Chains A and B, each alone.
Chain A
């Protein structure tokens, strides 16, 4: 938990009893130790500016400054993923920072060829969503057979095929060691240490300089393990709540408890990101995706999917993109004229709002239709057509202002403008606001625009 200025002062040369001989020496650039402490609390100064802080005080200060949920990094060659470091329970309180990493399970029972194909499919999967490229983050290679050689071969097959970040899944330290031997150039997540194997796993994690997941059925079991491991010198930890915490209700409750303990209590032993395996509780792929979605929202750092199907993965990636969007920043595009497919003076004129999702939906349809068009984007304060209309931000006056303000009349040789079908009721009013213009009612949904432009324009 962050310390106040006074709490920090009590650790500085001027605040300790008795004071350090250099107290208030000004070398840090501030008139007193207290002033420096205040700046530190406000994160406007660096502790290193004072040369006279004791090592003990330094340790206390850096521990207090550590984030309540530790940031964990996995990397493979060029690619890395970071999770943790979250500061809120609800996205509207600030934002969620590090999107839950979505990994796909690779069981070592597959053949080397199957493994390579699956790994490449996951690595190559990319889908465009409102101008962002959404991707999966990595692979979780699991020892099902429990044989070191087999696991090593599976990890090697993955490494030969792709450069994605990895989770290695086995509770057998010998199997894990064999897998780790194949991960040069990678910082994988070792999964998992349990009450039975933690000493051997700690050794492996230290040798590999890799983060380690701890697996237990209860909060107490998890905390006990992280305390033992931090005492043994392993600090990069991840929590793997097992047992009843695998299913919908158990996961929601335990993950909520973990997030609350970390943020509200500053409870260090559980201040780590969480890994989940939704397929273990939801055997059918359909239900697995729902559980994965729940865990992306509340409050997993890594979610390992039991299968790959684009029709399942795409909605999940979009859900994640939505929930991890910064709610303080309304996603808007600049109001104005957007020419699509090199429109000429006789190209259709269409109007929509500046909510970026609305804009992309409309612009993508026109663009992929191959038909030229002028898209007028009204300043509707970043709301979609229906929402903006209901809120009075996309009315006849606003549309008229957009048509006039953009000077589209000088770019086209006709006087026709298409409005979204959802605001068909504005037609009469708009005819009054825009004398000389013919108001045409377009389809309600962007997806129907190409057909409309071909048949009704």
Chain B
């Protein structure tokens, strides 16, 4: 019998630990903080290094009722809570979320343009309804996001919110607002290792500590280019472990948004019989997307369906158990 020597990598780098939320002792009002990152090996390889912080789930909530826009399986799952931010936050807590992700929108319930005051009110409602750390994600429209995020940053001063997305063509305003009020930011780049590093450098150059930057590598959904995001994430994580300083940020990904954009999740009629039951397939689409991204290195997954949340939570618990 030959001796079996399992190759164990001696990684020189570590993913940064990033703390979401601040308790009263730290100048905020959260009941507890959530720490992500800190990995010393590839996801869940306990034979190589002690498991770091558990990947965390952030359930997406909105101040504007998305029932018109969202697919039926999602609308049915949350019911009336979709139109009531406080109820939605409570339901997300009941679903087991670790963090609340407030997704800002372009319009309010009356169809009017969102603005600073309305965004401020939304984040205040969320902060008052939960003790969990809070992430606030913009719409991707630079002007509107800047206007809203500056107000959100002020309203949540000291809460160690996560504000995003900062993108290469629009990051300065949000980074400045986050720095001035003690928040974190997400740095979003389109599926590219070098662009991701560059944006981290740019944000860091403004004076933002690396312990307050979370990378959003962009992923795509299962079936819609996810493999690109998957491989970029694996490469980023390998680079981090190999000691490349600017790739050592924890990663946030948005499988909820990605998966529920897919036809497989959105269409109940006029699809092949081989796609199977709509609700089941739709939830699987989100679950499978989230699971693959967690196994390629995601630290925060922003999700939508409570059933998908339950399954992914269970999977994470199993993976952390070793």
Chain A residues with CB under 8 Å of chain B are: 90-92, 125-129, 219-220, 223-224, 227, 247-250, 252-253, 256-257, 260-261, 264-265, 267, 269-270, 286-287, 289-291, 293-294, 297-298, 309-316, 318-319, 322-323, 325, 327, 355, 357-358, 361, 365, 368, 383-384, 386-387, 390-391, 425, 444-447
Contact = CB atoms under 8 A, between A and B. Distances in A.
B1 A223 contact: yes
Nearest to B318: A248
B243 to A, nearest CB: 18
Given A293-B291, A315-B285, A253 B274 contact: no
Interface in B189-204: 189-192, 195
A312 B314 CA distance: 18
Interface of B: 1-2, 4-7, 42-47, 141, 167, 189-192, 195, 218, 220, 222-228, 230-231, 234-235, 238, 261, 263-264, 266-267, 270, 272-278, 280-281, 284-285, 287-288, 291-292, 295, 311-312, 314-315, 318-322
A270 B2 CA distance: 11
A90 to B, nearest CB: 5
A-B residue pairs, 7 tightest by C-beta: A311-B276, A310-B276, A249-B322, A248-B318, A311-B280, A127-B274, A311-B281
A373 to B, nearest CB: 17
Nearest to A252: B44
Contact of B1 (A227, A256, A358, A387): A227
Contact of A91 (B45, B231, B320): B231
Nearest to B278: A311
Nearest to B229: A387
B224 A92 contact: no
B263 A249 contact: no
A314 B276 contact: yes
B280 A314 contact: no
B46 to A, nearest CB: 6
Contacts of A293: 288, 291-292
A256 B8 CA distance: 11
Contacts of B226: 322
A318 B261 contact: no
Contact of B292 (A126, A219, A248, A319): A319
B273 A252 contact: no
Give the residue among A270, A294, A316, A444 with the most B Cβ atoms within 10 A. Answer: A294
A250 B225 CA distance: 29
A323 B230 contact: yes
A250 B167 CA distance: 38
Contacts of B320: 249
Give the residue among B220, B223, B321 with the most A Cβ atoms within 10 A. Answer: B223
Given A129-B223, A390-B190, A391-B190, A265 B292 contact: no
B47 A90 contact: no
A314 B274 contact: yes
Given A249-B319, A265-B5, A425 B45 contact: no
B224 A387 contact: no
Given A310-B273, A312-B280, A383-B190, A261 B7 contact: yes
Nearest to A330: B228
Contact of A387 (B46, B167, B218, B288): B218
Give the residue among A91, A293, A312 with the most B Cβ atoms within 10 A. Answer: A293
Contact of A260 (B7, B225, B231): B7
A381 to B, nearest CB: 11
Contacts of B275: 127, 310-311, 314
8 contacts: A223-B1, A249-B318, A250-B322, A290-B315, A291-B315, A314-B274, A357-B225, A447-B267
Contact of B141 (A129, A224, A365, A425): A425
Contacts of A316: 288
Contacts of A257: 6, 47
A250 B277 CA distance: 31
B231 A92 contact: yes
A67 to B, nearest CB: 18
B222 A318 contact: yes
Nearest to B283: A286
A445 B263 contact: yes
Contacts of A250: 322
A318 B277 CA distance: 16
B141 to A, nearest CB: 7
A317 to B, nearest CB: 10
Contact of B46 (A253, A309, A310): A253
B4 to A, nearest CB: 5
A248 B315 contact: yes
Contacts of A129: 223
Given A289-B284, A387-B191, A219 B6 contact: yes
A126 B274 contact: yes
Contacts of A445: 261, 263, 266
Given A293-B291, A309-B277, 13 more contacts: A90-B231, A91-B231, A127-B274, A129-B223, A250-B322, A287-B314, A289-B288, A297-B295, A310-B276, A310-B281, A323-B230, A383-B190, A390-B167
A179 to B, nearest CB: 30
Contacts of B45: 252-253, 256
